[in-house]
Amino acid sequence: MVCFTISQFFVLLLLLFAMTLHKGICGANTKLSCNGKDRSALLLFKHGVKDGLHKLSSWSNGEDCCAWKGVQCDNMTGRVTRLDLNQQYLEGEINLSLLQIEFLTYLDLSLNGFTGLTLPPILNQSLVTPSNNLSNLVYLDLSFNEDLHLDNLQWLSQLSSLKCLNLSEINLENETNWLQTMAMMHPSLLELRLASCHLVDMSPLVKFVNFTSLVTLDLSGNYFDSELPYWLFNISSDISHIDLSFNNLQGQVPKSLLNLRNLKSLRLVNNELIGPIPAWLGEHEHLQTLALSENLFNGSFPSSLGNLSSLIELAVSSNFLSGNVTSTIGQLFNLRALFIGGSLSGVLSVKHFSKLFNLESLVLNSAFSFDIDPQWIPPFQLHEISLRNTNLGPTFPQWIYTQRTLEVLDTSYSGLSSIDADKFWSFVAKIRVINLSFNAIRADLSNVTLNSENVILACNNFTGSLPRISTNVFFLNLANNSLSGPISPFLCHKLSRENTLGYLDVSYNFFTGVIPNCWENWRGLTFLYIDNNKLGGEIPPSIGLLDEIVEMDFHKNNLSGKFSLDLSNLKSLVFINLGENNFSGVVPKKMPESMQVMILRSNKFSGNIPTQLCSLPSLIHLDLSQNKISGSIPPCVFTLMDGARKVRHFRFSFDLFWKGRELEYQDTGLLRNLDLSTNNLSGEIPVEIFGLTQLQFLNLSRNHFMGKISRKIGGMKNLESLDLSNNHLSGEIPETFSNLFFLSFLNLSYNDFTGQIPLGTQLQSFDAWSYVGNPKLCGLPLPKNCSKQNIHDKPKQGGANESLFLGMGVGFVVGLWGVWGSLFLNKAWRHKYYRIVGHVEDWLYVFIALKFKKFAELRASSR
How big is the CA angle at 447 (ends 445 and 453), to the nearest 5 degrees?
Answer: 70
Q: What is the mean pLDDT of residues 457-471?
A: 96
Give the separation between CA 744 and CA 722, rounded to whole angstroms.
Answer: 9
Flag whether 364 is in a domain.
yes
pLDDT band at 694 (very low <50, low <70, confident <90, very high): confident
Distances (CA, A) of 176 to 153, 179, 199: 10, 8, 8
Instruction: Name the residue among 539, 590, 600, 592 with its Cα closest to residue 566.
Output: 590
* Percentage of the chain modeled with pLDDT above 90: 63
Give the separation between CA 465 and CA 720, rounded to whole angstroms.
Answer: 44
Residue 380, classified by CB atoms within 10 Å of its CB into exposed (0-12), middle (13-18) or buried (19+), is buried
pLDDT of residue 429: 94
* Percentage of the chain modeled with pLDDT above 70: 81
Q: Where are the beta strands (DSSP E) in 354-481?
A: 361-371, 384-386, 408-410, 433-435, 449-450, 454-456, 463-464, 468-469, 475-477
Helix, strand or coil, per DSSP, at residue 367: strand
Q: How far is CA 477 from the centre of its chain?
A: 19
pLDDT of residue 184: 72
Flag whether 325 is in a domain.
yes
pLDDT of residue 861: 47
Helix, strand or coil, per DSSP, at residue 29: helix
Q: What is the mean pLDDT of residues 448-460?
A: 96
Q: What is the mean pLDDT of residues 65-76?
A: 92
Q: Indicate if the pLDDT at residue 183 is higher than 80.
A: no
pLDDT band at 618 (very low <50, low <70, confident <90, very high): confident
Give the separation between CA 275 and CA 234, rounded to whole angstroms.
Answer: 23
pLDDT of residue 496: 67
Instruction: Name the residue among 489, 488, 445, 493 with its Cα closest to residue 471.
Output: 493
Of 762 and 599, the structure prediction assigns the larger pLDDT to 599
Q: What is the mean pLDDT of residues 208-214?
A: 85
Please check whether residue 742 is in contact with residue 767, taking contact to mean a CB–CB distance below 8 angstroms: no
Please check whether residue 608 is in contact with residue 631, taking contact to mean a CB–CB distance below 8 angstroms: yes
Cα Rg of the chain (Å, integer):
34
Instruction: Name the residue among 229, 299, 304 with its Cα closest to residue 268.
Output: 229
Q: Where are the beta strands (DSSP E) in 700-844?
A: 704-707, 721-723, 728-731, 745-747, 752-756, 776-778
Please check whether residue 317 is in contact with residue 340, taking contact to mean a CB–CB distance below 8 angstroms: yes
Of 251 and 132, the structure prediction assigns the larger pLDDT to 251
Q: Indicate if the pLDDT at residue 377 is higher than 50.
A: yes
Give one word for 779, left, alpha or beta, with left for phi > 0 and alpha for psi -120 to 50: left
For the entire predicted model, the pTM comes to: 0.80
**Continuous segment of H or E residues that includes residue 108:** strand 106-108
Tell me the average pLDDT of the chain: 84
pLDDT of residue 776: 94
How big is the CA angle at 195 (ends 277 and 249), to the nearest 5 degrees?
Answer: 35
Give one word for 584, left, alpha or beta, with left for phi > 0 and alpha for psi -120 to 50: beta
Give the separation between CA 159 and CA 155, rounded to whole angstroms.
Answer: 8
Please check whether residue 236 is in contact with residue 189, taking contact to mean a CB–CB distance below 8 angstroms: no
Give the separation between CA 347 and CA 797, rounded to whole angstroms.
Answer: 73
pLDDT of residue 182: 82
Helices (H) and strands (E) in the chain, counts: 8, 51
Q: What is the pLDDT of residues 216-231, one digit of tens each?
A: 999 999 999 899 998 9
Residues 6+ apart with CB under 8 A from 833: none
pLDDT of residue 812: 34
Instruction: Name the residue among 720, 639, 644 with its Cα closest to residue 687.
Output: 639
Flag whether 368 is in a domain.
yes
Number of domains forming the structure of the chain: 1
Helix, strand or coil, per DSSP, at residue 481: coil
Q: Where are the beta strands (DSSP E) in 312-387?
A: 313-321, 337-349, 361-371, 384-386
Flag whether 348 is in a domain.
yes
pLDDT of residue 792: 46
Give the separation between CA 456 and CA 438, rounded to whole angstroms.
Answer: 10
Q: What is the pLDDT of residues 707-722, one digit of tens each?
A: 999 999 999 988 999 9
Q: What is the mean pLDDT of residues 375-391?
A: 96
Flag whether 366 is in a domain.
yes
Beta strands 628-631 and 661-666 are: unpaired
Q: Indicate if the pLDDT at residue 808 is higher than 60.
A: no
Q: Indicate if the pLDDT at residue 847 is higher than 50.
A: no
Please check whether residue 700 is in contact with residue 723, taking contact to mean a CB–CB distance below 8 angstroms: yes
Helix, strand or coil, per DSSP, at residue 674: strand
pLDDT of residue 437: 97
Please check whether residue 553 is in contact with residue 580, taking contact to mean a CB–CB distance below 8 angstroms: no
Please check whether residue 436 is in contact with residue 412, taking contact to mean a CB–CB distance below 8 angstroms: yes
Give the separation between CA 256 and CA 234, rounded to whole angstroms.
Answer: 9
Give the separation between CA 282 and CA 300, rounded to whole angstroms.
Answer: 15
Flag whether 337 is in a domain.
yes
Helix, strand or coil, per DSSP, at residue 494: coil
pLDDT of residue 413: 96
Peptide bond connecting 394 to the previous residue in cis, omega within 30 degrees of 0? yes
The partner residues of 227 in beta bridges, in order of sequence, read 250
The partner residues of 629 in beta bridges, in order of sequence, read 607
Full domain range(s) for residue 316: 274-380
pLDDT of residue 212: 85
Torsion of CA 480, 482, 484, 487, to 10 degrees: -30
Residues 6+ apart with CB under 8 A from 109: 83, 85, 86, 90, 94, 141, 142, 145
pLDDT of residue 698: 93
Q: Indicate if the pLDDT at residue 850 is higher than 80.
A: no
Q: What is the mean pLDDT of residues 170-176?
A: 91
pLDDT of residue 763: 86
DSSP per-residue string spanning 518-537: -GGGGTT--EEE--SS--EE
pLDDT of residue 410: 98
Please check whether residue 107 is in contact with residue 140, taking contact to mean a CB–CB distance below 8 angstroms: yes
Q: CATH number, domain at 285?
A: 3.80.10.10
DSSP per-residue string spanning 208-248: ----TT--EEE-TTS---SBPPGGGGGS-TT--EEE--SS-
Helix, strand or coil, per DSSP, at residue 825: helix
Flag whether 290 is in a domain.
yes
Residue 619, classified by CB atoms within 10 Å of its CB into exposed (0-12), middle (13-18) or buried (19+), is buried
Q: How far is CA 792 from the centre of its chain?
A: 55
Distances (CA, A) of 348 to 316, 364, 368, 613, 860: 16, 10, 7, 60, 31
Give the separation between CA 279 and CA 40, rounded to whole angstroms.
Answer: 59
pLDDT band at 317 (very low <50, low <70, confident <90, very high): very high
Q: What share of the chain is helix, strand, coil (3-state, %, to 5)?
A: 25, 25, 50
Distances (CA, A) of 543 to 404, 569, 595: 40, 11, 16
Please check whether residue 625 is in contact with residue 605, taking contact to mean a CB–CB distance below 8 angstroms: no
| Sequence letter at residue 121 | P
Q: What is the mean pLDDT of residues 755-767?
A: 86
Q: Note the helical H segments in 252-379.
A: none
Flag whether 581 is in a domain.
no
pLDDT of residue 663: 52
